[in-house]
Amino acid sequence: MLLATFVFALMNVAVKYVGRIPAVEVIFFRSIVSLVMSGVALKSQKVPLFGNNRKILIARGVAGSIGLILFFATLQAVPLASAVTLMFLSPVFTAILGVWIVKESVKWVQWLFFAMCFIGILVIQGFDERVSFWWAVAGIAAAFFSGIAYNMIRKLKESEHPLVIVFYFPLVTLPVTIIYSFFDWVMPVGEEWLILLLVGVLTQIAQYFMTKSYQSEELNKVASVQYIGILYALGFGWIIFDETFNFMTYLGMSLVLVGVILNVAYKHRMTAKKR
């Protein structure tokens, strides 16, 4: 998950760099690259393309597609670190939804940690005028649908090869993005073609390692590791896009990170007690 988080951070930079291209069109190119790479890898390993539990695979693809479209749109509209922080609510939603979807327990004290994360998001939205209310809602919705998708991955733990799960994501996403892009196409020029290709390649690498981590460990522990990405986002945003924030925005980000760190520490302590 640490490796996946870093590669996703590089992908976020690439998506923001081609802000002239509509988010759905970026996902269209991303889906083509991912579909081809996944298909070739599955064929070379002689793994059936369409898996065993197709209903859950499709559900994962639909939820993931909605989340990704909302996230890419938010990523292009607000500062990099703010967009990433909004998306980092996905581990919180993953853990909360996991109570009903995969029957993993969440203790009462963890709800306090989750509340701290949401308060942090409210502080960011309230003190950074570049993050409007509706873009904040879009970012939170992206995190919610991603939480559903991650739970679907967990449900597929025993039945599917990780590459099959990755393969279904572009398989479901591609038809939607083709139709939308037909009516809102912006022709890439110059280096934009290379960056769009890079988005697809980086996504494929990150998706594979993320899927492996979700299949191998408890959702609460694995999902929380993603929050280290805020440090990457702050660094890349400052160096590449010259993005800075006021004190209250940094405070909001800190609340999110502290909430996550406390949750991770609590989960590790509970796991150690069980042993």
- What are the tens digits of pLDDT across the range 40-50? 888 888 888 78
Q: How confident is the model at residue 200 (pLDDT cuts 50, 70, 90)?
A: confident
> pTM surpassing 0.85?
no
Q: How confident is the model at residue 191 (pLDDT cuts 50, 70, 90)?
A: very high
Q: Rounded to 5 degrees, what angle do the CA atoms 125, 248, 113 make?
A: 75
State yes or no: pLDDT of 220 exceeds 70.
no
Q: How confident is the model at residue 14 (pLDDT cuts 50, 70, 90)?
A: very high
Residues 6+ apart with CB under 8 A from 234: 81, 253
State yes or no: pLDDT of 229 exceeds 90.
no
Neighbours of 17 (CB within 10 A): 17
State yes or no: pLDDT of 198 exceeds 90.
yes
Distance between CA atoms of residues 210 and 232, nearest Å? 17
Which range has the top average pLDDT, 35-39, 62-66, 127-131?
62-66
| Number of alpha carbons in the 13 Å side-chain half-sphere of residue 212 | 12
**Please, are residues 154 and 38 in contact by the beta-carbon 8 Å criterion?**
no
Higher pLDDT, 196 or 230: 196
State yes or no: pLDDT of 255 exceeds 80.
yes
Overall average pLDDT of the 200-207 stretch: 86
State yes or no: pLDDT of 223 exceeds 70.
no
Higher pLDDT, 207 or 233: 233
Cα–Cα distance list, 98 to 10, 67, 144, 163, 246 (Å)? 28, 17, 12, 22, 35
Helix-then-strand count for the chain, H and E: 12, 0
Residues 6+ apart with CB under 8 A from 251: 120, 123
* Residue count of the chain: 275
State yes or no: pLDDT of 132 exceeds 80.
yes
pLDDT at position 122: 87
Q: How confident is the model at residue 135 (pLDDT cuts 50, 70, 90)?
A: very high
Instruction: Count the domains in the chain.
Output: 1
Q: What is the average pLDDT score of the chain?
A: 86
Indicate the range of 139-148, 179-188, 205-214 predicted with least confidence: 205-214
Q: Give residue 263's domain range.
A: 2-274
Distance between CA atoms of residues 266 and 109, nearest Å? 9
Burial class (CB in 10 A: 0-12, 13-18, 19+), 48: exposed
Indicate the range of 8-22, 55-69, 100-114, 229-243 predicted with least confidence: 100-114
69-113 pLDDT, tens digit each: 999 999 999 998 898 888 878 878 888 888 888 777 778 888 898
Distance between CA atoms of residues 62 and 152, nearest Å? 11
pLDDT at position 210: 78
Indicate the range of 15-19, 164-168, 222-226, 236-240 predicted with least confidence: 222-226
Quick one: DSSP state of residue 189?
-
What are the backbone dihedrals phi and psi of residue 192, each rounded to the nearest 5 degrees, phi first? Answer: -60, -35
| Tokens 């280290």 found at | 228
Distance between CA atoms of residues 60 and 169, nearest Å? 7
For 144-159, letters b (16+ CB in 10 Å) and e give bbbbbbbbbbbbbeee
| Number of alpha carbons in the 13 Å side-chain half-sphere of residue 131 | 27
Neighbours of 108 (CB within 10 A): 6
Higher pLDDT, 137 or 92: 137
